[in-house]
Structure 1
C-alpha cells in the first residue's frame, strides 16, 4: 500500500471539529459512557494495554461497533502472539464490520510472540490479506525517548508503505508539530496526519489513570517526556483550544499533510464532547 495513494485532505476547522476522532480506554464503563455522551458520527479508537490484554481492546471494539460506531482497535504488536491470533482478530473485526485498525509497537516489556514492533505486525497483516480500508501508524513530533530521530524517520518510511494515515503522539507545541509534518512530507511520506492531543481532561483524572493502569501510549509518553508532563500540569499550562489555534494556520497547507486532530479523551467523554460542541460553534462563526 503506497503512501502516494492517500493524498492529504483540505480541511477547515468547522469540518475538523464536526467529526473529531476520539481515543477511549477499555474500562468496564467505557461502552455505556460512549453511548451516553458520544454521537454515532464520531470515529473512535480503543487503546491496548498490557495489564488488560488485547482481548479487552477487541471485545470493546466489537461492542461499540454493534452499537453503531465507526471504531478502530489498537493492534499492539508486542501483545499479539502470532499470525494465528492475528488472523482470528482480523476475522472478528470483519464480522463486526470494523474497517480500520491502528498499529502500534506497544509498551509490553517483552513481546508475547513473533512480533517485535509495529512494522512486523503491518507486514503480517499484509501477508494475511486483511480487509481494512484504513490502517493508522504513530508519529513522534518531539522524538522518542529510546529511538533516534534517524531511526524514527526510517521506520516511518517503511511503515507508511503499509498504512493510510499517521496519528501523532502528544506534543503541545504547534510550531514543532508543523515543522515535523513538513519534514515528514519532504521525506516522501505523503500520508494524512492526525495531530494527537488531550481533550478536556482534568489533571487529577489523567494523573489517576496514568498511576493506576498505565493504559495508552500517550500516558506513557507523558511520563517519558518530563518537560511535556510538567507543561500539562502547571496552572494554565494546557487547554486543547491553544493547540488548535496554534495549528490553524498550518492545516491544509501544501507543505505539510496535517488534516485532523486525534483526541486522547482518557475517558473524560462528557467534558470532551462539550468542548468539541462549543469549539464547533466558535469556529463556525
Structure 2
C-alpha cells in the first residue's frame, strides 16, 4: 500500500496556517488581519457544533482563503454523514480538512477516534488533502508505543501532521526524530501559540492540556522567563530554535500551525513586527 507519506508534500507546506474558532464575526476579522489567501483552519467543538465550522469554512473559501475545517470524528454519525460533509465542503470550494477525534464525551455514532474517519474520507475522496493531529508530549489516553502505532496507521491516509501546542523545542524535536526513526515521513507542522497575554494562555493551556511544556510554567527555565517576563508569550525564540533544528537532515518540519485564540489583532501586530 502507498501511504500518504510517500506523496509529494501538500501545497503550501512551508506556509504558516492559522487556527480560528467559528464565533460570530470571525470571517471579517480574518479578512482584516490575515494576509490574502492565507491558510486558515476552523475548529470544531461540541459547544459550537459542526454546522458552525462548515459555515465559517465556506465563508473563508468564498473570501479567497485556503479554508481547512476541523472534522471531529466523535461528532459525526457514520460514513454517510462524512461523505455528505465532503460534498457540502466541495460545493463551497473547500478541498482540505483537518481530522481530529474531538472532545465530545459520547460519540455521535460509529467513530470513537479519528482513524476510522480518516480511512473513510480518504476512500470517499482520494484527491482530498487530509491533516491529522498528534501529541509530542504524550497522549492523555494511550502510552507512547500505542501512540506511535496510531500515528503510523493514520499516516497511511493523511497528508501532514499538526502537533498540539508546544512551548519548548527539545521535546518536540526529539519526538520528530522518533517518528522519522519509525519510518513516518509526513510533513509536521509544529503547533505554536500566538503571542497572547499570559493569563489567557495559561487558562487555555490548562484546558487543552499541553503536557510537559505547560509544566515548565511552575519551574525556572528559559521557557518560563519567556512566558511570564513581559506578561505576554512571545513565540519568536521558540520558532528560531525550531528553525535551527530544521537544518537537521530528515526532520522535514513544515510551516507552523498558529493557535490564534481569535486574537487576530495580536497576530497581525506580531507578523508586522517580524
TM superposition score category, shorter chain reference: 0.7 to 0.9
Identify unmatched segments of 5+ residues in structure 1. 211-216, 280-285
> What is the aligned partner in structure 1 of residue 35 from structure 2?
39
Map 1:123-138 → 2, pairs under 5 A? 123-132=119-128, 134-138=129-133
Q: Decide which of 72, 75, 82 is 1:79's aligned counterpart.
A: 75
Once the two structures are superposed, residues 88-120 of structure 1 have per-residue CA deviations (whole angstroms, 9 ceiling, x without a partner) of 110011112212111001111110111110101
**DSSP-derived class of the 1:259 partner:** coil
Rounded Cα–Cα distance in structure 1 between residues aligned with 2:201 and 2:88: 31
**Highest RCO, 1 vs 2 (Cα 8 Å, sep ≥ 6):** 1
Rounded Cα–Cα distance in structure 1 between residues aligned with 2:163 and 2:100: 11
Change (3 A) 1:224 1:147: farther
Does residue 113 of structure 1 match 2:101?
no
> What is the aligned partner in structure 2 of residue 63 from structure 1?
59
Rounded Cα–Cα distance in structure 2 between residues aligned with 1:163 and 1:148: 22
RMSD between aligned residues = 2.6
1:206 Cα shift?
Answer: 4.1
**DSSP-derived class of the 2:255 partner:** strand
Q: Is the 8 A contact 1:30 1:267 kept in 2?
A: yes
Does residue 159 of structure 1 match 2:160?
no
**DSSP-derived class of the 2:254 partner:** strand
Q: Is the 8 A contact 2:135 2:164 kept in 1?
A: yes
Once the two structures are superposed, residues 66-108 of structure 1 have per-residue CA deviations (whole angstroms, 9 ceiling, x without a partner) of 1111110001000111122211110011112212111001111
> What is the aligned partner in structure 2 of residue 171 from structure 1?
166
| TM-score, normalised relative to structure 1 | 0.84
Change (3 A) 1:221 1:122: same
Rounded Cα–Cα distance in structure 2 between residues aligned with 1:228 and 1:270: 27
Change (3 A) 1:229 1:128: farther
> What is the aligned partner in structure 2 of residue 258 from structure 1?
253
1:207 Cα shift?
Answer: 5.7
**DSSP-derived class of the 1:92 partner:** helix
Q: Is the 8 A contact 1:8 1:190 kept in 2?
A: no
**DSSP-derived class of the 2:256 partner:** strand
> What is the aligned partner in structure 2 of residue 145 from structure 1?
140
